[in-house]
Amino acid sequence: MEKIIVGNFKMNLEKEEISNYIKQIQKNRYYKKAVYCPSFLYIPYFSEKDIPVGAQTISSYNEGAHTGEISAKQIKSVGASHVIIGHSERRNYGKETNEEIYLKIKEALKENLKVILCIGEKEEEIEKRKEVIKVQIEESLKDLPKENIIIAYEPIWAIGTGKVMNQEEIKKVSLTIKNIVKESKVLYGGSVNEKNIKSLAKIEEIDGFLIGGASINPEVFLKIIEVAVTM
Q: 188, 191, 164: which is closest to 177 by C-alpha? A: 188
> Is there a contact between 112 and 73 (Cβ–Cβ < 8 Å)?
no
Q: 228, 230, 231: which is closest to 209 by C-alpha? A: 228
Q: Which of 87, 100, 107, 121 is catalytic?
A: 87
Q: Which of 96, 121, 154, 226 is catalytic?
A: 154
Which long-range contacts link 60-66 to residues 24+ away (Cβ below 8 Å)?
60/100, 60/103, 60/104, 60/106, 60/107, 61/107, 62/107, 62/110
Q: What is the CA radius of gyration of the chain?
A: 17
Give how far Cα 145 sits from Cα of 1, 9, 79, 140, Å. Answer: 23, 28, 23, 12
87 is catalytic: yes
Question: Which phi and psi (to 5°) does residue 61 adopt?
Answer: -110, 155
Residues 6+ apart with CB under 8 A from 184: 146, 149, 150, 151, 177, 178
154 is catalytic: yes
Catalytic residue IDs: 87, 154
